[in-house]
Amino acid sequence: MLTAAAAGASLVLLIAGANVAILLLVRGRRRQRDLSIRLALGASTTRLVRLLVFEGVILGVAATAIGLGLGRLAMDALAPLVEEFLDRRVPGGVEALTFDGTVLVLTALCGLGVTLLFTVVPLLAVRLPRLSLSFAGARGATDSRAARRTRSVLISVEVAASLTLLVGSVLMLESARRMLHVDFGIDADRVVTAGLGLRQQSYPDEPTRVAYFERLKARLGGVAGSASVALGNWSPLQTVQPRAIRTTGAAPIETDAGTFAVSSGYFETLGIPILDGRGFTPGDNISTEPVVVVSAALARQLWPGGRGVGQQIVCPSERGPGDVRRVVGVAGDVRQSHADTNQRDAYLPLLQEADRFAFVYLRQPRSPAWESELRGAVANVDREVAISAARRLDTGLEQERRRPRFLAGLLTMFAVSACGMALVGLYGVIAYGVRQRQREIAIRMAIGADRGAVTRLFLVQGAVVLGVGLAAGLWGAVHLGRVLESYLHGVTPADPRLLALALAGFALTGLVATWWPARRAAAINAAIVLKDE
């Protein structure tokens, strides 16, 4: 997440710097007459360069100050989202989320660095040693080809960076929307869980651990008035590390699947339906036949068109890499995390795969003191067993959805800022070009060019700059999508539908920003302009 946020902030900073460069370039061009007079009166080129750099620094300082103010407002807006994302209160409250001295200094240094960097660009394009040559005709002179090319390149860079951020925010918004409607396959409402850790010295082998879990399961029955109780060695909503699983027989089918050890009552407690066969019973223990319950997705993969119950699979376990187990049930598919798309799972009896770590699950505890009763029940069996803080499972589900929502909000803020700056820059450059070429426009209209031809002239100019920027922005958007891939759900980093939507929206808005000053160019009164010239 830090990588994505840093990428977004860097692109916004790049766009802001490009706008500073365009502003200084335009300002330097409009002051050519003044600078030429200074050169004619004996001012050195070095002194004029210092003057322009100083003006650039002043603009940069003002922009940095405004940016810090806007950042403070943005922090106030994001502070509640930060607490929601962390799922706990920020120490000191949301008021503690503010800029300290280090942030202020680093921000000021970044603003100064960007200003100095982009001040060099217009200085190279203005070419101060030649200013004295334009003294006589400075009033009617137009920009040099280098100056126009520089402005076009800077605008293309802004458009590319803006489209990159826009696509990233669209991907995250679509991912967050789909996350709100995803079915994880479990009923997490009013289910609480806590983690357990057994000491190696007290439970050195599997029989001792099996005995402990049997005693604990019996002790937890009905604790805090809960409807059902279960144990498992895995907490839902975590990334699954799949293992190789294959069928038996002459032509085995092999695939990968997540493997979990769960107790009897697990499927009932978490609301996972048993579609065929049965779940586990207390009799599925270390002294009985190795069995397994598979998910529906895994059953379809291994026995397409056939019944999974009664089949045998080779499944890795704590006993070894190749235990042969009989399938006794087929359970509904579960998404272990938002990135779990295949949903191929194999459930082993906890009493046949007892590890030192487990999770307790209680459904609908009716007692308000359910956590203290749970801790008391665990301590009653063995006071040396560590137990983690209990939490609601539906809270975990909500937190799983918060990460993409938070990142979507952050990137959307960046994208709106970037697109606004880029479109303003595009409009300003075309409008400035219209003002610089008024004499040329008037001559064209005087010799027969109509308003439509003049409008098309500037629309084509803006469309070329916009097109180059959009092409580069698509390339950047694909790479940003790869950075965001681990946060995406239901969409690919290069989703063609979303890319086309963002591209069309930005292109249409950019053409409107180009059309407005082009329309003003067509409204020029040629007679008045030529008379003034």
Let me know whether 413 and 463 are in one domain. yes
Let me know whether 157 and 271 are in one domain. no
Please give the distance of CA 470 from its chain centroid, rounded to a whole number: 21
Query: Using CA atoms, how far apart are residues 3 and 332, in angstroms rounded to an integer?
Result: 36
**Structural domain of 376:** 199-384
Residue at which a domain ends, from 362, 384, 406: 384
Let me know whether 404 and 463 are in one domain. yes
- pTM of the shown model: 0.62
Residue at which a domain ends, from 384, 414, 448: 384
Q: What is the DSSP track for 153-204?
A: HHHHHHHHHHHHHHHHHHHHHHHHHHHHH---SS--TTEEEEEEE--TTT--
Let me know whether 372 and 481 are in one domain. no
Domain count, the chain: 2
Let me know whether 411 and 368 are in one domain. no
Q: Is the separation of the CB atoms in 361 and 192 below 8 Å?
A: yes
Going residue by residue through the chain (533 aa), what tens digit of pLDDT does each one get?
Answer: 445 555 555 666 566 666 666 666 666 566 666 767 777 777 777 777 777 777 777 777 777 777 777 777 766 666 666 666 555 565 555 555 666 677 677 777 777 776 676 666 556 555 544 444 444 444 444 556 766 777 778 788 888 888 888 888 888 788 777 777 777 888 888 888 899 999 989 999 888 999 999 999 888 887 877 888 899 988 776 777 788 888 988 788 899 888 889 999 999 999 999 999 999 999 998 888 999 999 999 999 999 888 899 999 998 765 555 678 999 999 999 887 766 778 899 999 999 988 889 999 998 877 778 888 889 889 999 999 999 888 888 777 777 667 667 767 777 777 787 778 778 777 877 777 777 777 777 777 777 777 778 788 878 888 888 888 888 888 888 888 887 777 777 788 888 888 888 888 888 888 888 888 887 777 766 666 555 55
Residue 391 resides in a domain: no
Let me know whether 329 and 224 are in one domain. yes
Query: DSSP character for 99?
Result: -
For the chain, give the number of residues: 533
Q: Is the separation of the CB atoms in 269 and 191 below 8 Å?
A: yes
Residue 255 resides in a domain: yes
Let me know whether 466 and 405 are in one domain. yes
Helices (H), 256-367: 266-269, 296-302
Phi, psi of 331 (to 5 degrees): -105, 165
Residue 193 resides in a domain: no
Let me know whether 219 and 324 are in one domain. yes
Let me know whether 7 and 121 are in one domain. yes
Q: How many CA atoms lie within 13 A of 180 on its CB side?
A: 6
Residue 188 resides in a domain: no
For residue 347, the cross-strand partners are 260, 293
Let me know whether 100 and 217 are in one domain. no
**Surface-to-core class of residue 448, CB atoms within 10 Å of its CB (0-12 exposed, 13-18 middle, 19+ buried):** exposed
Let me know whether 226 and 371 are in one domain. yes
Let me know whether 323 and 414 are in one domain. no
